[in-house]
Amino acid sequence: MVILSFFKYHKLHISMKLPTTLPIILDGGMGRELERIGAPFQQPEWSAHALIESPHYVSQVHRNFIHAGAEIITTNTYALVPFHIGEKRFNEQGADLIKLAAKLARDCVNDNDVSGVDVSNSVNVNSKVLVAGCIPPVLGSYRPDLFSVSQAEPLLEALIVNQEADIDFWLAETISSIAEAAMIKVRTAQTSKPTWIAFTVKDEINTESRLRSGETVFAAVSQIAGQHVSAILFNCSAVEVMESALINAKQALLALGLEGKVQLGVYANNFPPIGELREANNDEGLSIIRNDISPLKYREFVSAWINAGASIVGGCCGVSAEHIKKVAELK
């Protein structure tokens, strides 16, 4: 059990009260957990489908992860972009849906509402839980070639202004390029909330880890870490490639003089490797969940990430509440 002693932020930005022992436990994957509990779930809407049709299921997933030991839950805004819900629905309902997603997360934290959940073996029912405001790759996942600042900025603006009131900090997820991370960093600097940036890396086992754009992790961390970006994470890539990403990130932080000032984290997916040319197509079928990454096996990977420098750990797509419960045992 490690005491958190270093979380001081840039003087222009407000700090937040994080859990006092490491590792900090994130939640798991919202989308496939919704599917697992029987919520409305389909492409192209992904996790937005339940929010639109039956939002109580979203609350149930939040509660499930809190019950499992998550100290941070993430707003269900990942799919609230035209890419998933369509241009018309986004223009007409996007703002209200983003507000709803943030409010559901905040209400679960404020009310500590675990109704419908067996809490007899709960890890974390009464602990203070933080809400991370999800900022997704607004023009599509895993496809940095689709990114355009001019197209992305208004979508990012909608995500910022409509959930800022209910979140504790920003979590930009599954970011595939330095350009997209830089755009997010500039905009979130105008808010009162700290920012965590989570990059997705190529599912290739190499000593030099690379983003989906082909840019190195070392370059990405060198350009993005610091100021109000108080944590760099890696998410939605295969478990096997995360350790090298952490090593490269630590090297960059050391070169910047930020080691011990910017935290590192990992929350991998439970999917087979995502191919080089995988289309960010919202009509694709659902990825297959691996059958070789049990909760116990996932915890073994998490232990290795902690040894490699991660102080924030959790799960992404296909990582269930049962996986998070095993991860929380590492506290």
For the stretch 21-57, pLDDT in tens is 899 999 999 999 999 999 999 999 999 999 999 999 9
Mean pLDDT lowest among 144-148, 188-192, 250-254, 285-289: 285-289
Q: What pTM was computed for the model?
A: 0.91
* Rounded Cα–Cα distance for residues 278 and 166 (Å): 34
Give the tens place of pLDDT for each residue, 295-305: 999 999 999 99
**Bridge partners of 233?**
198, 265
State yes or no: pLDDT of 236 exceeds 90.
yes
Quick one: what percent of the chain has pLDDT higher than 70?
A: 87
Answer whether residue 165 is part of any domain: yes
State yes or no: pLDDT of 68 exceeds 60.
yes
Contact indicator for 85, 79 with CB cutoff of 8 Å: yes
Total domain count for the chain? 1
Give the tens place of pLDDT for each residue, 18-27: 888 899 999 9
Give the tens place of pLDDT for each residue, 100-113: 999 999 999 998 64
* Rounded Cα–Cα distance for residues 178 and 196 (Å): 14
Q: Hey, what are 280's tokens?
A: 């960010």
By C-alpha distance, which of 255, 247, 203 is closest to 225? 255
State yes or no: pLDDT of 217 exceeds 50.
yes
* Rounded Cα–Cα distance for residues 41 and 34 (Å): 7
Quick one: what percent of the chain has pLDDT higher than 90?
A: 81
Give the tens place of pLDDT for each residue, 140-170: 999 999 999 999 999 999 999 999 999 999 9
The number of CA neighbours under 13 Å toward the Cβ of 84 is 27
State yes or no: pLDDT of 216 exceeds 60.
yes
Give burial (CB, 10 Å; 0-12/13-18/19+) of 312. buried
**Domain hosting residue 179, numbered range:** 23-280+287-328
Answer whether residue 96 is part of any domain: yes
Answer whether residue 2 is part of any domain: no
- C-alpha triplet 281, 40, 51: angle, nearest 5°: 80
pLDDT at 304: 98
pLDDT at 127: 60
State yes or no: pLDDT of 177 exceeds 70.
yes
Amino acid sitting at position 73? I
Residue 174 — left, alpha, or beta (φ > 0 → left; ψ -120 to 50 → alpha)? left
State yes or no: pLDDT of 119 exceeds 50.
no
Answer whether residue 9 is part of any domain: no
Q: What's the CATH code of the domain at 222?
A: 3.20.20.330
pLDDT at 126: 42
pLDDT at 9: 35
Element (H, E) at 173: strand 169-175
pLDDT at 286: 66
pLDDT at 311: 98
pLDDT at 239: 97
User: DSSP secondary structure string, 210-266?
Assistant: BBTTS-BHHHHHHHH-BTTEEEEEEESS-GGGHHHHHHHHHHHHHHHT-BTTBEEEE
Neighbours of 254 (CB within 10 A): 11
pLDDT band at 15 (very low <50, low <70, confident <90, very high): low
pLDDT at 275: 61
User: DSSP secondary structure string, 127-166?
Assistant: S--EEEEEE--TT-TT-GGG--HHHHHHHHHHHHHHHGGG
Find where tokens 């937040």 sit: 16
pLDDT band at 65 (very low <50, low <70, confident <90, very high): very high
Average confidence (pLDDT) over 81-101: 98
Give the Å distances, CA to CA, from 227 to 4, 71, 131, 195: 19, 24, 21, 9
State yes or no: pLDDT of 262 exceeds 50.
yes
